[in-house]
Amino acid sequence: MSEPSTVQAKSTAPELARESTGPELLISNLLRFGVVLSLSLVSVGMVVTFFHHPDYFSSAQALRRLTAPEHAPHSLSDVLAGVEAIRGQALVMVGLMVLIATPVVRVALSLLVFGRQRDRLFMAVTFGVLCLLLLSFVLGKGE
């Protein structure tokens, strides 16, 4: 008689493990994908920059010009125009923007996961965190 309950317990344990690791695995994969995509964009941007301007390898003055803040794209429209023109600095900026956005997307995904699990407390906390993150993007400004 005790054998059927053992079999039943063994069959539900993997289901519980699969259910609990599903969201964590999804979030882990999201973070991993965001970092790899960001690294790829930054790397491609650097290669494009040095391909378009090989003098950066030999001239310290040209390299200083590249790294000067006034030559970097400062707005989203500058970045998008630079990507259309295939400018390396703009691709690097897109990579950095992806890196910054990755944890925000993770919080949004966590909100969906908690909603699916009907965990109202964690939904409320996660929603508050997401609102604060989005508010910091709206109110924050760079120099």
DSSP letter (8 states) at residue 86: T
User: In sequence order, what are the residues at sequence separation of 6 or more whose Cβ sits closer than 8 angstroms to the Cβ of residue 109?
Assistant: 26, 27, 30
41-94: per-residue pLDDT in tens? 999 999 998 888 777 777 778 777 777 777 778 888 888 988 899 888 899 999
Q: Which domain holds residue 127?
A: 2-139
Span 123-140, pLDDT tens digits: 999 999 999 999 988 888
- pLDDT for the residue 8: 47
Q: Which residues contact 131 (CB under 8 A, 6 or more apart)?
A: none
